[in-house]
Structure 1
Amino acid sequence: MTLFSTGTDYEALAAHFRPLFARIAAGAAEREHTRTLLHDAIQMLKAAGLGTVRLPREKGGWGASLPQLFQLLTELAEADANLPQALRAHFAFVEDRLNQPDSPQRDRWFRRFLDGELVGSGWTETGSVRIGDVLTRVTPGEQGWTLQGEKFYSTGALYADWIDVFARRSDNQRDVIVLVSTHQPAVTREDDWDGFGQRLTGSGTTRFADAQVEPDHVYDFTTRFRYQTAFYQHVLLATLAGIGRAIARDGAAGVAARERIYSHSNAGASRQDAQVLQVIGEITSHAFAVEATVLRATHSLQSAYEAHLSDDDGALQAINDRAEAEAGQAQVIASELVPRAATALFNALGASDTRAGKALDRHWRNARTVASHNPVIYKARDIGDWKVNGKSPTGIWQIGRGGADR
């Protein structure tokens, strides 16, 4: 039986999580200021069942559609922008399982998700690795499979029970996805991510020293769900949209509470100053435009999900191309407007609002860091090539050292 997650009552879904999001938001500035990792927030989200939002209702989940998932992640990002990105690999692996045939193995994963188990990321290798090379190897053996290698940008790995690892089989050189348990000494995770933004996403180094892997947890990469690149991008888009909402929220609250004014201001209080109100209006409008654009793009992603069982490859390609292109268009808009709003925020406030304890600078730092993923200049080029020449946007891509002839 084919089960689809096509939607639920969004207000009921959001009402379940909003009190938790409010608790998370209340401590966001302090966590940023002290660089306190998100273990407590993650545990609360696990207990509340956030990781099961996309599971079909018949399997114990909420049955949320992709637009509803990303709307919810936008609300979570408004509370703390680190959290949706930290959970990015989890939702992607859930999505991959949703695209696979119903089976006892898939049900085992669903039960793990219902028990609160989370998946982190382990795809990127740094250093002198060339584009196309994969140094992380998984090796079959009589006593089971073993994983050897090192990953960086291991987003969410510090909080995860499993890590979704991109590796190469040592026997036949095929690229695979390996799900490896973090609850073994052969897996070490380091909190060494030192980016200026998204500092609490748990995106550091992960090492595998002959880590044990169940044979059933090795998946050929060619079976991965087709719209994965757009899906990963949508998590970042929801994060940017949530940052935009947080900027508008903090700007409005800061102006409403501000008592000090400048001698050459336009009113006796900032909340009555027409120029200050204009700044807040523009910031709020930018946040609104980004959220509307991101939500619009999620519908083509839902279409790609609902079409994944089709045997019409031409139609599938067209649907997935549109999902990728619309994600790219939303990225162009969000990457421009959210950092701009984060900078403009301080035009409505004062020098006292730059104090480290308020951590308002986190909005720009987080937005700029998220916007630096999957370079937007190449997305814009892809969109133009798709619109003018009908060329499919770039789907699967890699990063590494290029040759002198490139």
Structure 2
Amino acid sequence: MMAYDRSNLPDDVKLGSGWGSAGDPEWDGLTKRFRPVFARIREDAVKRELGRGLPHDEIGWLRETGFTAMRVPQEAGGLGVSLVNFFALLIDLSEADSNITQALRAHFGFVEHIRTEAPPARQARWFDRLLRGDVVGAGWSELGNAKQAAFSAELRQTAEGWRLNGSKFYTTGTLFSDWVHVGASDSEGNGVSVVVSRHAPGVEVLDDWNGMGQRLTASGTTHFRDVPVEDCEIVRERAPFGYSEAFFQLVHLATLAGIGRAAASDTASILRIRKRSYSNATTAMAPEDPQLLQVVGRVRAHAYAAGAIVHHAARALDKAAAIGNDQDPALIAEAEIEIWQAQSVVSQLIIDATASLFDALGASATLRDAGLDRYWRNARTISSHNPRVYKDRIIGDFAVNGRIPQGQWRIGQA
């Protein structure tokens, strides 16, 4: 069989990105709307990282474009973006700056909570706020001696009305938000969720996150001291939406896939213009060195595979979420299994890719001003959330014994 001859292709032929697309008719419109702001965000990503410049302005740009409200249903005035395209856009945003995706993770989870759990009056109130650009942070995780099934943060009725007291850690994105969605215990020890204004008296948000990665996510401490709570913002029923655990984990995986794409693109760009080479290299010019090209190809292939896996898992989650308020537990469990399987592979793909890129670029790539170390640090930090070692066991238990995941996890003392 004769090989296909590409010799007649014009010299200026342009191919696609090679990352693939979401494969949906609405995708072109979404990318036309949002990719210019993603490009603007990426321009100063290294400068922000080196100077610890928190992305207040950048999140503001996303508000202005409607990005933060893209999952608000069309009948409520929003874009009603499908979960498949939503996660594809998160990959693109993460390629620009993964800090911002993680900073908005709690916000997007709150949007899903309102879509699926809120009664009509509450939906109308919150859709209006979201469409005007309001952002919601979170206060759920606690340090100290809190039990797994309870919160030390307390909601109490006083003569002046409801008041919230307590401290939270991992309040990711709250520093950039207008509202905070908080988990607490009532006077009888029952779990409740409340929403309070981020600017209410008694709310103190600290930028004390000192993790090695995702340094600009404002993932530190928030204190609540006698914070007033409106009765209409207290939810005593189940606070998380049915597919919340799978949703939040898939946000992490989309973030990792975007980190991989950014690392692959930067590695290729740097090698393309590199002049220095070793005397024992296979070619005089580094961009033509087949060994270095192999490294770049492997980094890019890892990033591509991660994105493809996220896309496939998003389809499973979209199917589970489409049921609406009458969510099918079996479909949700099935989506969770797919996403736990994806977590095991995607995290390792990107950790490996972001570590091996230095093999193509040499010691100069380790200089702090290059900012390339942030890719591995960020990937390693994200992969430490919701530990994948437990997910491997859960997957194995399902495969061998048919045991379904137990559902929403909690952190604390047993």
Q: CA deviation at 1:52?
A: 1.0
Which segment drifts farther, 384-393 or 14-23? Answer: 384-393
Question: What's 1:3 paired with?
Answer: none
Identical-pair percentage: 45
Counterpart among 374, 377, 395 of residue 365 in structure 1:
377
The answer to whether the Cα contact below 8 Å between 2:69 and 2:131 also exists between their aligned partners in 1 is yes
Q: CA RMSD in A?
A: 1.4
Is 1:307 the counterpart of 2:327? The answer is no
Q: Please state how far the C-alpha of 1:310 moved relative to its aligned partner.
A: 3.5
> How many equivalent residue pairs?
391
Matches within 5 A, 1:380-395: 380-395=392-407
TM-score (norm 2): 0.92
Aligned partner of 1:377 among 378, 389, 392 = 389
For residue 99 of structure 1, give the secondary structure of its aligned residue in structure 2: helix
Q: 1:203 aligns with which of 200, 219, 222?
A: 219
**2 CA distance for matches of 1:202 and 1:25?**
19
1:328 is aligned, of 332, 337, 340, to 340
Equivalent residue in structure 1 for 2:198, among 182, 185, 191: 182
Q: Any idea what SS the aligned residue of 1:104 has?
A: helix
Whether contact under 8 Å (2:150, 2:189) holds in the other structure is no
TM-score norm. by structure 1 comes to 0.94
**Counterpart of 2:163 in 1: which secondary structure?**
strand
- Partner secondary structure for residue 126 of structure 1: coil
4+ runs deviating over 6 angstroms:
none
Structure 2 residues not aligned, in runs of 5+: 1-23
In the alignment, the residues of structure 1 paired with residue 407 and residue 227 of structure 2 have an alpha-carbon distance, to the nearest angstrom, of 30
Show CA shifts across 1:188-209 (max 9, x none).
0000000000000110100000
Equivalent position of 1:398 in the other structure = 410
Match of 2:189? 173
In structure 2, do the counterparts of structure 1 residues 347 and 64 end up closer, same or farther at CA, with 3 Å as the change threshold?
same
- Quote the residue 1:212 is aligned against: 228
Aligned residue for 2:261? 245
Q: Which secondary structure state, in structure 2, belongs to the residue aligned with residue 222 of structure 1?
A: coil
2:27 partner letter: Y
Contact 1:8/1:64, CA 8 A, preserved across alignment: no
Residue 91 of structure 2 is matched in structure 1 by 74
Matched-pair contact (CA < 8 Å) for 2:295–2:356: yes
> Which structure 1 residue ranges, 5 or more long, are not aligned?
1-6
| 2:14 counterpart residue number | none
Partner of residue 347 from structure 1, selected from 355, 359, 370: 359
1:270 CA drift (Å) = 1.2
Give the drift of 1:219: 1.0
* Residues 97-128 of structure 1, C-alpha deviations (whole Å, 9 max, x = no match): 11136612211100100111001111111023
Distance 1:169 1:319 in 2: 32
How far, CA to CA, are the matches of 2:25 and 2:232 in structure 1?
32
2:100 to 83, 86, 91: 83
State the one-letter code of the partner of 1:126: L
Measure how far apart 1:368 and its partner are. Answer: 0.2
Q: SS of the counterpart of 2:361? A: coil
Measure the CA separation in 1 of the matches of 2:205 and 2:317: 32
Is the 8 Å Cα contact of residues 8 and 65 (structure 1) preserved in structure 2?
no
Alignment of 1:4-403 (within 5 A): 9-100=26-117, 103-170=120-187, 172-310=188-326, 316-402=328-414
CA deviation after TM superposition for structure 1 residue 212, in Å: 0.9
Q: Which amino acid aligns with 1:249?
A: S
Cα deviation per residue 1:204-251 (whole Å; 9 max; x = unaligned)? Answer: 100000101111111125253110000110110110010010111111
Q: How many Å apart are 1:129 and its aligned residue?
A: 2.4
Please list the CA deviations of residues 312-337 of structure 1 after superposition, one character each: whole Å capped at 9, or x if unmatched.
xxxx1210111111111111011111
Give the equivalent residue in structure 1 for 2:11: none
The question of whether the paired residues in 1 share the 8 Å contact of 2:344 and 2:391 is answered with yes
Mean alpha-carbon deviation: is it higher for 382-391 or for 139-148? 139-148
SS at match of 1:89: helix
Structure 2: distance between partners of 1:374 and 1:97: 24
